[in-house]
A and B are shown apart, each in its own frame.
Chain A
Amino acid sequence: MEQAAPDPDRQLQPAPVESLGGPGAVLEAAVGEETEGTREDSAGVHTMTGNDLWLKKIEISVSEAEKRTGRNAVNMQETYTAYLIETRSVERADGQSVLTDSLWRRYSEFELLRNYLLVYYPHVVVPPLPEKRAEFVWHKLSADNMDPDFVERRRIGLENFLLRVASHPVLCRDKIFYLFLTQEGNWKETVNETGFQLKADSRLKALNATFRVKNPDKRFTELKHYSDELQSVISHLLRVRARVADRLYGVYKVHGNYGRVFSEWSAIEKEMGDGLQSAGHHMDVYASSIDDILEDEEHYADQLKEYLFYAEALRAVCRKHELMQYDLETAAQDLASKKQQCEELATGTVRTFSLKGVTTKLFGQESAEQREARVKVLEEQINAGEQQLKSKNLEGREFVKNAWADIERFKEQKNRDLKEALISYAVMQISMCKKGIQVWTNAKECFSKM
């Protein structure tokens, strides 16, 4: 299945982005401290070059899927699918690959990994997972998660996810990711110990920020619009494509009926018999050809789906920016009002409404010492606030810089991948047409010999 594992051209740039990851996030591995970047050859093998004497390549594949039963969190029997992840290291010298690690993971563990990455690398467009449940299903396709075709396509999608993470200049160095590939038992506990769930921004906070932020970076606003459009248009495309597939299936399969009827009819015909019989055979061939055609198309749909889900990843980065920006704006506002309060206290004028003003009116003016004390407190707060603002500003700018770099990287990847996918669609159509010409030419010959 050449189109089975889409091998996107993952040209990697040397990692310019600093890792903003969490505790122990950098994957030091056996490669040496200085990594200049990563290279990739056509087999999807990722070399981590370095100043070290020997080079280590890592090959990752999700090679098998297995049905299992076990007990879940509430101690109930459940059936799930486990996937075998194999990591191989290839010694450059003799080109042989050695299996270094092999373990089984289920979908929920992939989800856990991804959620962790989302929290610790908010400036990165984190690669998406294949869909949890089958969507855009047409009548031949099953919506059942246990269906072998679905499992197979998911296997490919998970492999794709790992390869994308492994080829990302920042994410590939993450320790938790490394452990995901190498440490079967206890991995879940390790992830949870990082406490990443606590660090995650609350949805409510994010929503609030989105509505209230005043001056987000325009590029992010545009990016958000873009990702909304992308999501909408790809969904629409996939929906209609599924319907087209359904209809095409119908056209081809009905022709299969000719095969049977021609064969029966040929029994009573003397001169026409042979021609009918062989024409009927070609109709059968035609009818069955659609199965392979649509299977290939399903892989095309999966490629588009990946970018449908990427849209959400883009939005996540935008949200983070909005949150940080909102935080910054709030802090700035806070600072400004404190400064004003301070000024008012110092000069004795009350320009703004304040509780102090009211109580003053009610209970009389405070003494000079009281005022001075308060001014001092405020000045301290203002100082702290200014420091905080400074660092928040810095953080914000760093975030924008890094995020935007990753977004540029993502954009190029997206354009390459999608162009390749669209072209592969054309290639599929060409192949379908050629098959059609062949079958009908054969059939025509049979008919004309009747």
Chain B
Amino acid sequence: MDGERLASGSSELAVGESPRGGAPIPDGSGSCSLLQADVLDLDEDEDDLEVFSKDASLMDMNSFSPMMPTSPLSMINQIKFEDESDLKDLFITVDAPESHVTTIETFITYRIITKTSRGEFDSSEFEVRRRYQDFLWLKGKLEEAHPTLIIPPLPEKFIVKGMVERFNDDFIETRRKALHKFLNRIADHPTLTFNEDFKVFLTAQAPELSSYKKQGPSLLSRMGQTVRAVASSMRGVKNRPDEFMEMNNFIETFSQKINLIDKISQRIYKEERDYLDEMKEFGPIHILWSASEEDLADTLKGIASCIDQCCKATEKRMTGLSEALLPVVHEYVLYSEMLMGVMKRRDQIQTELDSKVEALTYRKADADLLTEEIGKLEDKVECANNALKADWERWKQNMQNDLKSAFTDTAEENIRYYEQCLATWESFLTSQTDLPLEEDSEDKI
């Protein structure tokens, strides 16, 4: 789900491998028939089983939909789950940050391009600009509508430590990537993807959005909800079912560990950067030295060149780390906070039920009314629990895959780094000694 890349100019749906053993989908125009066959029964009530293809011969496959294929620009690789639609029909990109200055404030907006074939969207392509506040709004609405679903996390509002200016380039780029991920995770979520607020977010122009936002429950009533939520969570949950106890324990431990991993990974990045800085100074000294040596000049220059190559390899390694590992780990740090919130909300719903049940035991007077309310609440609790259970399994699966990928990629980056350095030094050694290398090393000149 997170391996989305814009592969420009490809004329057919190129689907990457699924590392978790999802139906491996071969490339090639003949793939469409296979795809259709592999798609499991889904109770999709929308005709979104479209395959984007310029190949007209495939049009008969798309007989469900009156939609025309969209531009080739919107072909995106992705990794799908077995139990979800293998055909993605909502493609979102977040890019082109821009700074806006008004008399009151300065803020950044991001361009959001959505391409879709879904019927409920008025058009197949949308372009809007959203600012961070808008994302916050969307998240709040999703949490409201689905209190026990695991909503993807948003990047932090601001990072206090080590930030001189709120809008430095690295910060904006990191945030942009995280926002891109946020929207795509929602798009991939079987339930959230059909959320109305989500649709409005993606499609409404700025003024429309403002007026739409105002329609929601008032600030006051929302605050009231929050107060009740806090109050109930403080009362504690007495009857949390076992599976949710287990879930809670998992979340607590996971949260601890992922936070540590986040810190460790950031620290590694920093140490590598410091190492790189020193190495950059180390190499040139050998060149300086070679100027006063005749016989050693070649050797010294050779070493300087090797060090230089290793510096380049280190830079690559760092880039790899910052792309493959750091953002993923960090997202799961935020996820773990999010999960704790979900647990709280679930507990709160249960507490509502529990307190009504308690009330029933003591106040027989409103028995009928209470019983009715309890009935409703029991339904609510059951819904909430089921939603969470299903989403939990999905989330766990996702988490394992994402982190496994991230660490595997990191290991790969490190292997590549050492292989590059090895090749450099071995080539230098051969040039110096003119002797054959040991048998177990490859000749990588």
Q: Known contacts A267-B253, A419-B295: does B289 contact A254 (CB below 8 Å)?
A: no
B282-299 contact mask (Cβ, 8 Å, vs A): 1 or 0: 100110110011011001
Q: Assess whether B96 is interfacial by the CB under 8 Å rule.
A: no
Q: Assess whether A443 is interfacial by the CB under 8 Å rule.
A: yes
A251 to B276, CA, bound (A): 11
Shortest Cβ gap from A15 to chain B (Å): 24
Q: Which of A226, A237, A269, A447 is the one whose CB lies under 8 Å from B292?
A: A226
**For window 397-432 of chain B, which residues contact chain A by CB distance below 8 Å?**
400, 404, 407-408, 411-412, 414-415, 417-419, 421-422, 425-426, 428-429, 432
Q: Assess whether B112 is interfacial by the CB under 8 Å rule.
A: no
Is the pair A233, B295 in contact by a Cβ cutoff of 8 Å?
Answer: no
**For window 301-320 of chain B, which residues contact chain A by CB distance below 8 Å?**
303, 306, 310
Is the pair B422, A254 in contact by a Cβ cutoff of 8 Å?
Answer: no
Shortest Cβ gap from B69 to chain A (Å): 37
A182 to B22, CA, bound (A): 80
The interface size of chain B toward A, counting residues with CB under 8 Å, comes to 52
Is the pair B429, A433 in contact by a Cβ cutoff of 8 Å?
Answer: no
A422 to B293, CA, bound (A): 13
Is the pair B415, A430 in contact by a Cβ cutoff of 8 Å?
Answer: no
Q: Known contacts A250-B275, A251-B271, A447-B407: does B433 contact A423 (CB below 8 Å)?
A: yes
Q: Assess whether A436 is interfacial by the CB under 8 Å rule.
A: yes
**CB-defined contacts of A422 to chain B, threshold 8 Å:** 296, 299-300, 303
Residue of B250, B271, B286 with most partner-chain A CB within 10 A: B271
Whose C-beta in chain A lies nearest to the C-beta of B272?
Answer: A251
Shortest Cβ gap from A281 to chain B (Å): 14
A26 to B300, CA, bound (A): 40
A250 to B429, CA, bound (A): 27
A340-359 contact mask (Cβ, 8 Å, vs B): 1 or 0: 00000000000000000000
Q: Assess whether B240 is interfacial by the CB under 8 Å rule.
A: no
Is the pair A440, B425 in contact by a Cβ cutoff of 8 Å?
Answer: no
**CB-defined contacts of B281 to chain A, threshold 8 Å:** 240
Is the pair A265, B253 in contact by a Cβ cutoff of 8 Å?
Answer: yes
- Interface segment out of the listed A28-36, A85-93, A256-264: A256-264
A433 to B420, CA, bound (A): 9
Q: Assess whether B268 is interfacial by the CB under 8 Å rule.
A: yes
A27 to B117, CA, bound (A): 99
Q: Assess whether B172 is interfacial by the CB under 8 Å rule.
A: no
Is the pair A440, B271 in contact by a Cβ cutoff of 8 Å?
Answer: no
Q: Assess whether B278 is interfacial by the CB under 8 Å rule.
A: yes
The interface size of chain A toward B, counting residues with CB under 8 Å, comes to 51
Is the pair A440, B414 in contact by a Cβ cutoff of 8 Å?
Answer: yes
Whose C-beta in chain A lies nearest to the C-beta of B400?
Answer: A272
Q: Which of A229, A236, A247, A271 is the one whose CB lies under 8 Å from B271?
A: A247
**CB-defined contacts of A203 to chain B, threshold 8 Å:** none
**CB-defined contacts of B212 to chain A, threshold 8 Å:** none
A275 to B303, CA, bound (A): 39
Q: Assess whether A434 is interfacial by the CB under 8 Å rule.
A: yes
Is the pair A419, B296 in contact by a Cβ cutoff of 8 Å?
Answer: yes
**CB-defined contacts of A429 to chain B, threshold 8 Å:** 306, 310, 421, 425
Is the pair A272, B404 in contact by a Cβ cutoff of 8 Å?
Answer: yes
Q: Which of A230, A233, A448 is the one whose CB lies under 8 Å from B408?
A: A448
**CB-defined contacts of A247 to chain B, threshold 8 Å:** 271, 274-275, 277-278
A-B contact pairs, 16 of them (CB 8 A): A226-B292, A233-B292, A236-B288, A237-B282, A244-B282, A247-B271, A251-B275, A254-B267, A261-B257, A423-B432, A426-B425, A429-B310, A430-B429, A433-B421, A441-B415, A443-B407
Other A-B pairs beyond A250-B275, A422-B296, A447-B411, 18, CB < 8 Å: A233-B288, A233-B292, A240-B278, A240-B285, A247-B275, A254-B268, A254-B271, A261-B264, A264-B257, A271-B400, A272-B400, A415-B295, A430-B422, A430-B429, A434-B422, A436-B418, A440-B414, A441-B411
